[in-house]
Chain A
Amino acid sequence: MEDYKVIKVKKSVYENNNLEAEKVRERLKSEKTFLLNLMSSPGSGKTTTVVRTIKSLKDKMKMGVIEADIDSYVDAEKVAKAGAKAIQLQTGGMCHIDAIISRDGLDSIGSQELDFVIIENIGNLVCPASYDLGACKNAMILSVPEGDDKPLKYPKMFSTVDALIINKIDTMEYFDFDLEAVRKRVKEMNPNIEVFEISAKTGQGFDQWTQWLERNITQWNR
C-alpha cells in the first residue's frame, strides 16, 4: 500500500487570473491607457455602440478595439473603418476570455500608443462575468428586445459591472420593456451601477454615455 497523504491547498482556481488582472491594471496605469471591458449577449448592438463611441471620441483621443469572438473578422473590419485601431482575437470555441488573453490582446494592439482601448467581449451573459480582465471599468449592454427580466436571469453579470447601457431605446414602442423595473432591479443588486439609455442607431442618449467615459478616462490618467 502506497503512503498517501493529504496536501492542503486552499487555493482559488481564479487566483492566477486575478493576479494577472492586477498586473494588467498596473501596466495600464503606467502607460496612461484606459481599458473598458464591454460585455453583452449576442445581437444587443455591441459593435454598433462601439462604432458610434469611436466616432464621438476619436478626435479627442487615440482609440483601439480588441474584438473577441469565437470566429470571424467581421467586427474588426467594421471598427477599423470607423477610425480606431482594431485587432481580432479568436478564441476557437472558448465562451469567455481571461486576463492572459486580455494581456496578449494589449500587446498585439500596442496599448502604450493608445489612450483608450475597448475589449469587445464574447457575446455571452454568463461566463465573462467570472473573469477579471484587468479592465479599468466594466460595462454591459442590455437591448430592449431582450426583455426587462434579464437582471433576474443573469444576476452575476448585472452585479459585476460599473455601467449598464440599455440599447435600442428607439424600439421601446414595439416591446413590453419596463425601464423602471430594470433600473430598480439592478440598483437593488448593485447600488453603484450607472445606467444609460441609448440608441446606437439614432445616437439618442449617447452624450451621457461618452461623458461618463471621458470622466473615467481623465480620472484614470490623473
Chain B
Amino acid sequence: MHELGVVMEVVKNVEQIAKDNKLTKIHTLVLQIGELSSMIPRYIEACYPAAVDGTILENTKLEIEVLPGNAICKQCNNVFNIIKCDGKCSNCQEQSWELLCGKEFMIKEIIAC
C-alpha cells in the first residue's frame, strides 16, 4: 500500500497549483490513473480522507478517471487493450507491440474558486 505517500505528493502539487492560481477553496480533485500504473483506484479512495486531513484538500470530492492500457501492434497496427487481450493483438495474435497509454498517474483538473 504505497498510495498514502503518493496522495501526499498529490497534496503538495495541489497546494502549489492553488497558490499559483490564487485559489482559496477547492471543491473537487480529478485524477487520471492508467490501468497499468501501480496505483489502485479503490485504495487511493480509501486513504484519501486520511491523506488530505488538515490540508487544502480536506473535505473535497475525489474523482478518478481510469485510462485504458492500450497498445499498437507492431505487425498489423491494430490498437487493442493489453489487459483484455492478455498481451496478444486482438487481430493477429502477435505479442510484439508498443504501449500507447495506461501507465499515467495525472492530476487532470481541480474545481475550485
Contacts and interface: CB of A to CB of B under 8 A. Distances in A.
B95 A9 contact: no
B13 A96 contact: no
Interface in A1-48: 2-14, 16-17
B38 A156 contact: yes
A130 interface: yes
A12 B104 contact: yes
A57 interface: no
Contact of A7 (B1, B5, B10, B17): B17
A95 interface: yes
Given A126-B38, A127-B2, A188-B95, A11 B106 contact: yes
Given A2-B25, A4-B27, A13 B112 contact: no
Contacts of A4: 27, 111-113
For chain B, what secondary structure do more than half of its interface residues adopt (helix, strand, loop), or is it mixed?
mixed
B108 interface: yes
B46 interface: no
A166 B17 CA distance: 45
A127 B38 contact: yes
A192 to B, nearest CB: 14
Given A16-B9, A94-B5, A9 B38 contact: no
A129 interface: yes
B2 A9 contact: no
B38 A6 contact: no
A130 B36 CA distance: 11
A17 B8 CA distance: 13
Given A13-B10, A96-B2, A6 B111 contact: yes
A188 B74 CA distance: 14
A13 B113 contact: no
Contacts of B106: 9-13
A11 B13 contact: yes
Nearest to A96: B2
Nearest to A126: B38
Interface in B69-112: 95, 104-112
Interface of B: 1-2, 5-6, 9-10, 12-13, 17, 21, 23, 25, 27, 36-38, 95, 104-113
